[in-house]
Chains A and B, each alone.
Chain A
Amino acid sequence: MSCAIALVDGNNFYVSCERVFNPALERRPVVVLSNNDGCVVSRSNEAKALGIKMGVPYFEVKHFAKSHGLVWLSSNYALYGDMSARMMSILGAFAPEQEIYSIDECFLDFTGMVVDQVAHGRDIRARVLQYTGIKTCVGIGPSKTMAKLANHIAKKQPQFRGVFAWNALSASEQAAMMGSIEVGEVWGIGRRLNARLATLGIRTVLELKCADPAVMRRRFSVVMERTIAELNGTACLDLEEVASRKEQIMCSRSFGRQVTTLAELKEAVMSYIVRAAARMREQGSACDSVTVFIQTNQFKADDRQYSRSVLVPLSVASDDTRRLGAAAQHGLASIYRPGYRYKKAGVILTGLQPVAAVQDDLFSSYDRTRSTKLMGAIDKINGIYGMHTVSFAGAGIRKPWRMLTNQMSPRYTTSWNELAVVA
């Protein structure tokens, strides 16, 4: 029996979240920018119609503000994360298995459920729209790859009104549809593979589907063979129910402006350690090494370039922010050089292991119980009152180097003081 897998994703997700609480943004060209207010990460359909591409730096399109009333907003992740959680919870009710793929995409496996696929897709779409105000597209197929393709079709072909299921077409109609779509639209076929396939005369999805899997496996990889099998209706990729424990945790950010002093870098690095350590504790891990890296802006050819990283091993694996912070600062001091304009810094926690299995140094006077209690208390307070309620002085208070978020909308769903108002 073939599987029934749906891929549901939010349309223009970040912009859609903003519009739920600020209906004045409806029907206008709107873009949401990445945290440095650098690049476009979400566009309304009106903004897309102006030719604004994903990822362009805002300064390239700011002229549209005057000519077409383009509105720009900084990313409001507190809002998007909460809206995403709601959407995923709602979607989870529609199938026995769900894989949350990204902040706005999710796979649902409803194999075995006796439902009309398109009708089920319409129910899903209607409920998400009613409960959250977010419009979605639903693509349904016998495999994840086919579901992704179906989602693409639902999005690009308005006659399907946001829901497309392969089984609603006859076999010949399916072939015709596949013949009309470029092979580059298939999940996993990026620009390079697209070019390589073109040299073999494979330009449409249909041509890839009909390619000899054994030959393609030799020419490319087993992943390509799997993709072809999926295009032929065999589900090879399982839904990943639970996010696997991370093997390393990285936290890094670009600076809002260039940073030159060690003091500022220290604050930044400590901030990243605070965040990475909190994430690590959430998954019950400790780490045995801390890597710190700093780099100048590689796109500014005029600036002297410098990029270094250092790995600082710990004598005993730890999940204590203070210990990790000390190690990170030690590493930073060894790689910092004055006279450079740093654009980015980051930390990576590696050698992750279950914290319960950590063995202490024989001669250490380190009080693990107190450390655990302190970290536990901090994590709990931050969980209730907000992410930065309790932090570490070394991470800085004003943080002048931090990302610019000067046009962020209110945190409508996570802050009592920032609720949307009604007249």
Chain B
Amino acid sequence: MSFLTPVWASIYPIKQPLPLFSDKVPAGFPSPATDHMDQRLDLAEHVVTHPDATFFLRVKSDSYSMTGAGIFPGDLLVVDRSLEPKSGRVVVASINGELTVKRLHKHGDAITLKAENPAYQDISIKDGQELMICGVVAFVVHAP
């Protein structure tokens, strides 16, 4: 035990904008890869383009209305609210107080939310009915 304990300022992490080394300096051989190292791939980076506007939703366990689009019960939806809900895009919408995922079809003034499973009905939005689009489904994460 030493009587005097020097206080080293460097014990406490100082936030630096750039790392001094991109990885720990190995004790063994100098790796030829060191100067060329990239960051490992991160799925979130690829799938989430607008983090402030991106939300994750889950498909209900009994919801088969969009199987034709590759969306199955229990799947994870990456919903990007910053994308424009264009005709032909799969969107999450609010109908009668419930969130639903369907493909959006706009034909002139007529708006239809189409299911992609023959067993399910399309929802056509009548005049005066309120449709709230909550976002465009950018990606679906499905465990096969």
- Using a CB–CB cutoff of 8 Å, the interface residues on chain A facing chain B are 20-21, 23-26, 86, 89-90, 130-133, 284, 355-360, 362-365, 368-369, 372, 376, 412-413, 416, 419-423
Q: Distance in Å from the Cβ of B101 to the closest Cβ of chain A?
A: 5
Cα separation A360 to B5 with both chains bound (whole Å):
7
28 residue pairs of the A-B complex, CB under 8 angstroms, read A23-B94, A23-B134, A25-B97, A26-B94, A86-B51, A89-B51, A89-B52, A90-B53, A130-B53, A130-B82, A131-B50, A132-B52, A132-B53, A133-B81, A359-B7, A362-B3, A363-B3, A368-B5, A372-B11, A419-B56, A419-B58, A421-B58, A421-B59, A421-B60, A422-B77, A422-B101, A423-B98, A423-B101
Within 8 A of A (CB), among B14-42: none
Whether A131 and B53, one on each chain, are in contact in the complex, defined by CB atoms closer than 8 angstroms, is yes
A24/B98 in contact, CB under 8 A:
yes
When distances are taken between beta carbons in the complex, the residues of chain A under 8 Å from B59 are 421-422
Chain B residues numbered 74-103 whose CB sits less than 8 Å from any CB in chain A: 76-77, 81-82, 92, 94, 97-101
B1: interface (CB < 8 Å) = yes
Residues of A within 8 A of B82 (CB): 130-131
How far, in Å, is A216 (CB) from chain B's closest CB?
43
Shortest C-beta distance, B93 to chain A (Å), equals 9
Given A133-B134, A419-B57, A422-B58, are A23 and B5 neighbors across the interface (CB < 8 Å)? no
* Cα–Cα distance between A372 and B57 once the two chains are bound (Å): 39
> Within the assembled complex, what's the spacing in Å between the Cα atoms of A376 and B56?
30
Determine whether the beta carbon of B98 is less than 8 Å from that of A23.
yes
Q: Which residues of A contact B94 (CB under 8 A)?
A: 23, 26
Q: Do A423 and B99 form a contact, CB below 8 Å, given A130-B82, A369-B11?
A: yes
Cβ–Cβ contact B63 & A130, under 8 A: no
Q: Is B110 an interface residue (CB 8 A)?
A: no
Residues of B within 8 A of A365 (CB): 1
8 closest Cβ pairs, A-B complex: A24-B97, A131-B53, A23-B94, A422-B99, A86-B52, A419-B58, A422-B101, A423-B100
Chain B interface residues (CB < 8 Å from chain A): 1, 3-5, 7, 9, 11-13, 50-53, 55-60, 63, 65, 76-77, 81-82, 92, 94, 97-101, 132, 134
Q: Are A360 and B63 in contact (CB under 8 A)?
A: no
**In the complex, what distance in Å separates the CA atom of A25 from the CA atom of B96?**
10
Report the minimum CB–CB distance from B91 to chain A (whole Å): 10
> Could you list 12 further interchain pairs (A-B, Cβ under 8 angstroms) beyond the known A23-B134, A130-B81?
A23-B97, A23-B99, A24-B98, A90-B53, A131-B53, A133-B134, A419-B56, A419-B57, A421-B59, A421-B99, A422-B77, A423-B100
The CA of A133 and the CA of B57, in the complex, are separated in Å by 15
With A86-B52, A355-B12 as known contacts, state yes or no: A420 contacts B58, CB within 8 Å. Answer: yes
Q: How far is the CB of B116 from chain A (nearest CB, A)?
A: 14
Q: Are B7 and A422 in contact (CB under 8 A)?
A: no
Bound Cα distance A21, B56 (Å)? 11
CA distance A234 to B77 in the complex (A): 49
Contacts of A355 in B (CB 8 A): 12
Given contacts A356-B9, A422-B92, A423-B65, contact A90 B97 (CB under 8 A): no
A86-B52, A131-B52 known; A423+B63 contact, CB < 8 A: yes
Contacts of B76 in A (CB 8 A): 419
Query: B81 to A132, Cβ gap below 8 A?
Result: yes
B7 touches A360 (CB 8 A): yes
